[in-house]
Chains A and B, each alone.
Chain A
Amino acid sequence: AQSVTQLDSQVPVFEEAPVELRCNYSSSVSVYLFWYVQYPNQGLQLLLKYLSGSTLVESINGFEAEFNKSQTSFHLRKPSVHISDTAEYFCAVSGGGSQGNLIFGKGTKLSVKP
C-alpha cells in the first residue's frame, strides 16, 4: 500500500525567508509525485509534479521539489516566500497506470508573516 507523510502540519515563516515543506512517501511500485496548493476557500491546484526524467522539478511561481528515491522524499522548497504564498500544501503519490487515484498527505499550512 502507498502512503504519504507530511512531517509538519504548520510552518510559520517571515516574508522573503526560505522555506522547505517536507514530504516522504512509501510505495512498493514506481511512483508519480505531486504537490498541490489550496488557497483559502478554494479548491486544489497542481503546483508541480514528478513523472520521470529530471529529479528536480519547478513551478512557475518559484517553488521547486526534488525527487529522492533513496530517501523516498519529495520536499518542496522556495528560496524567498511572499505573503501570497500563504496556503495549505498537499503532497500526493500515485502508482500510475491502471491505479490512477492519488494518495494525499494530511497537508502543511504555510503561513507567511510580514
Chain B
Amino acid sequence: DADVTQTPRNRITKTGKRIMLECSQTKGHDRMYWYRQDPGLGLQLIYYSFDVKDINKGEISDGYSVSRQAQAKFSLSLESAIPNQTALYFCATSDLYRDEQFFGPGTRLTVL
C-alpha cells in the first residue's frame, strides 16, 4: 500500500462549489503539506502543518483552508471553487528531524 494517499484522484466541479481534498499517510510523520502544481510554475505551497495543533499558511493560501484531523490526515478545502484553481494538487509529508518530503500521487482538479 502507498505511504501517502490522496482522494479523489480526479475531480471536476463547477464554480462556486465547495470541494474537499483528502490526504492520509502511514509514515508516522508529523509534518504535512499541501502544494499546487501549475504547468511552468513548479510547486507552490498552500498550507503546512507541523503537528495536529499547528497550521501555517504558505505562499498561496487565499481561497483555501485546511484541517488536520489527526496526525495521519490533512484535508484541503476550497470554500468556493473558481476556474483559476484548476490545477494538480499534491500532499506531502516529512519527518520532524529531516527535510526530505514524500509525495502523494496527486489530485487533478478541474473547476468549470
Contact = CB atoms under 8 A, between A and B. Distances in A.
Interface of A: 9, 32, 34, 36, 42-46, 49, 51, 90, 94, 96, 100-102, 104-107
Given A100-B50, A100-B94, A107 B99 contact: no
From A44, A45, A105, residue with most partner B Cβ within 10 Å:
A44
A34 B102 CA distance: 12
Nearest to B6: A43
B80 to A, nearest CB: 26
A52 to B, nearest CB: 12
- Residue among A42, A49, A107 having the largest count of chain B Cβ atoms under 10 Å: A107
A9 B45 contact: no
Contacts of B43: 44, 90, 104
A94 B44 CA distance: 14
B59 to A, nearest CB: 9
Given A101-B45, A106-B41, 4 more contacts: A44-B43, A51-B99, A104-B42, A107-B42
Interface residues of B, number: 23
A53 to B, nearest CB: 14
21 contacts: A34-B99, A34-B100, A36-B103, A42-B105, A42-B106, A43-B90, A43-B104, A43-B105, A43-B106, A44-B43, A44-B90, A44-B92, A46-B102, A49-B100, A90-B42, A96-B99, A100-B99, A101-B48, A104-B43, A104-B44, A106-B42
B101 interface: yes
B68 interface: no
B51 to A, nearest CB: 12
Contacts of B31: 100
A105 B44 CA distance: 9
B93 to A, nearest CB: 11
Contacts of B102: 46
A9 B58 contact: no
